[in-house]
Structure 1
Amino acid sequence: MIGEALKSYTQLYTHMESLITPEASFTAFKRLADTYAPTLSARYTRGEVVRNILEESKSEGALGDNVDLDLNYRKTGNVCITLGEQSRKPIWAFAHLDNISYLTGPIENGVYPLTAFHEPRITPGERDGLALLYDEQSQNLVSAAKGMIVTGEDSNNSVFKTDITDLPPATRVVFQTAAEWDKGTGMLYGSVDDAFGCTALVMSAIVLSAFDVDALIVLTDEEEGVVGVGNTAFARGSQRLISRTDPKQLPAIMSVTDLHERKPTIDDNGDVVAVPGCGDGALFAGFASGARGGVTPPHVLSAMREVSGLLNEKGISMRENESYVSRSDCVSAMMATQNVVLMGFPGAYSHFLRTPRAHIDDLVALSKSLTVLIAAAQSSDWRKHYLID
């Protein structure tokens, strides 16, 4: 069935191979990952990076005319890339553009108590941190102080230790990182959650801009939040978008891409030996967070298994993830449609227990997998065959 759905995209694979390379993918990833985008700032931080990537692709002749970028789509704070002219898109594809952060309280005993604007997953210790403030002149975030994020023995409380003593309340503090690619192992290091997923979708959009495709690429802000409180305390950027969309304009299917956390193998010295699954390709899953998050219905899982089978025949690895997957924007997508696909990639330490990491081959595979999924979703016959329409 999927072969029939993709008949009009005979040049798709050739075009993907020319544009979605490890080198191009890492360059885009590094630009996004090394730009700090604490929640509620993504549109003027990483959003500007997305704009620059697309503009440079245009100047190089790689970006088609079938594309439009809005850094504050429907005033929701989400960065959206629109492909095609149809008002109702058959598919929306999500990944979150924001990264985890803390908010400072008033200085006490020389340190700033921190409130997590995310779900903390770190152990006691000190990690490099950076305080960011909004600069009116540049209309962007700038560094206000370097220091250390210090987490206490109970792991529930953290403080920011710095020489700067006049940070205003609610200053954002982020983990300080720089993206690296170990070409010997293929591992990527840096802010992978979810600059990795956003990079995959941006690369996919560049490829698809040359074809007759209608889709909405949604790079959300405020996916991060206090997950333990419940589904209303995070993924609010995607909730805003869905609530401001006419029900008649909602798509037939939504994909949500995020990191699928894996437990690393550790040696006797406490060093990471490997992250299982890294380098083996992109992932899709049937449900998230013990069914507290998105759950993909049987008919859509059948469709995804067909997509996976085709991709693997083409040498693009996409596998079904049988292990635990965290909630993401899927909690919002489920309120708009039953047809939610949980896409992702294997990685570790998303919330900085150690340096976050994933694999370059999985970035390439994920970009190509999303490209083919979005192209297949254009076919009304394919959608009807799998009861998506």
Structure 2
Amino acid sequence: MTTPSLTDLLASLPEFRERLDSIVTETRAFDVFRRIADTYAPTLTVSRTRAPVLKRILDEAMQEGLYADEIDFTPSCRGTGVAVARLGSAPRSPVWSVAHLDNISFLTGPGRKGEYPLTPFCQSRLTPGKRPAVALDLADPARPAHIVASGHIATAERSPGSLEPEHQFVTDCADLPLATRVCFTSTAEWDRTTGMVYGCIDNAACASAQLLAALVVRPYQPNVNILWTDEEEGVVDMGPPTFARAASRLVLRTPLDRMPELVFVSDIQDLDFATDVDVDDPACFGRGAAMEAFTSRTRGTATPPLLLGGMRNLFAEMETIDVRVLEQGRYLNRNDDVAMTMATPNIVHLCCPGAFTHFQGRPRVHVADIVHLAKALACLWMVTHSDDWRANFTR
């Protein structure tokens, strides 16, 4: 059996490289990122907040003439809260690509004189200090995410023996309902001199890359499902049942004969934890997307050796068309991979290098890395949806 390769794909579809380079530009990448990142989507709201943004961008691309047929898009597949785009026409898509779409948030407790204790709906990782924030009304069907109060989140020193420091939302508004969602204030910005992009990067950067890749490959209709999940955020230290919930729900509700054989999961790789990286130096970014063989020191999942070898072969081929996916052996947090392992052991962990994902500092990625990830996903989907390729490299 001959194993399909990227070289074979480029030879059989000579226009594919041109589509890749003309569609996935830095300008388009930032525009897609901005539209997603500047839409607040706290956990449990994705189907009403950011999912409609994805749908509008996909429809606009069709009107632009990037592809002829409307993509089958569902904002909450099987009632799970996971937005799904089906690129192919077959009943089963053996390849899934996953990136979470929710952003971190906090829930208010009883307020007193404009000060509200907060419960994190995330792994907050915050150091002491004050950070601008907004409170959202998410209960109005006509306005999915309406800002009702502005202020700041004040984080105190962690008390001895406490797992989490105390947080408060401080605002002029004195009548916020209990469990009002509070998010950090954020506006997407692109420094065109350095290439650095700032804003709510987690996980708008990888979600954008998936959408950009879809614009490239849609005319070929590969049998791939793209998943943008909700409820990835959660209290990770407590274990898998407290995060990646929507992805888990989708796996549970998917019939066995519709399960994937191969899953790509993309998230931000936090470089601010790396002692050998100066995240204030733009030169530390923009070198390419990344892949890691396992997550959270294997508390998450690990890529099977055979599949890992197949990926390395494809990444080497991508270098010939200036698409870079680096393997650096750096720490990568577990994410929706812990849910996908219930569907298949064949999981590839892709990531976009970034810093301060949970607003410990100013969140940042490089626009070139979003471009590299988008192009890599497009190439990977086109090759791995082949039955012959998967027969050689998956369990």
**TM-score using structure 2 length:** 0.94
Compare 4-13 and 329-338 and name the one that shifted more: 4-13
Residue of structure 1 equivalent to 2:259: 250
Q: Does 1:104 align with 2:89?
A: no
Matches within 5 A, 1:1-389: 1=3, 2-3=5-6, 6=9, 8-65=12-69, 67-108=71-112, 110-154=114-158, 156-263=165-272, 273-274=280-281, 277-386=284-393, 388=394
Residues 80 and 250, structure 2, Cα contact 8 Å, conserved in 1: yes
CA distance in 2 between counterparts of 1:90 and 1:330 reads: 16
Which deviations, in whole Å up to 9, do the C-alpha atoms of 1:197-225 show, x marking residues without a partner? 00000011111111131110000000001
CA distance in 2 between counterparts of 1:12 and 1:133 reads: 44
Which deviations, in whole Å up to 9, do the C-alpha atoms of 1:82-114 show, x marking residues without a partner? 111111112000000000000000113541000
Residues 100 and 229, structure 2, Cα contact 8 Å, conserved in 1: yes
* Percent identity (aligned): 39
Which deviations, in whole Å up to 9, do the C-alpha atoms of 1:28-50 show, x marking residues without a partner? 10000000000000111111111
**In the comparison of the two structures, how many residue pairs are matched?**
384
SS, match of residue 321 in structure 1: coil
Residues 88 and 223, structure 2, Cα contact 8 Å, conserved in 1: yes
Residues 29 and 370, structure 2, Cα contact 8 Å, conserved in 1: yes
Residues 40 and 98, structure 1, Cα contact 8 Å, conserved in 2: yes
Compare 236-245 and 277-286 and name the one that shifted more: 277-286
**Alpha-carbon deviation of 1:63?**
3.1
Residue of structure 1 equivalent to 2:161: none
Deviating above 3 A after TM superposition, structure 1's stretches of 4 or more consecutive aligned residues are: 7-10
Unaligned stretches of 5+ residues in structure 1? none
SS, match of residue 178 in structure 2: coil
CA distance in 2 between counterparts of 1:4 and 1:200 reads: 22
Paired AA for residue 57 in structure 2: I
SS, match of residue 144 in structure 1: strand
CA distance in 1 between counterparts of 2:7 and 2:314 reads: 12
Residues 264 and 273, structure 1, Cα contact 8 Å, conserved in 2: no
Residues 195 and 282, structure 2, Cα contact 8 Å, conserved in 1: no
Change (3 A) 1:348 1:383: same
CA distance in 1 between counterparts of 2:240 and 2:68 reads: 38
**TM-score using structure 1 length:** 0.95
Paired AA for residue 79 in structure 1: A
RMSD: 1.7
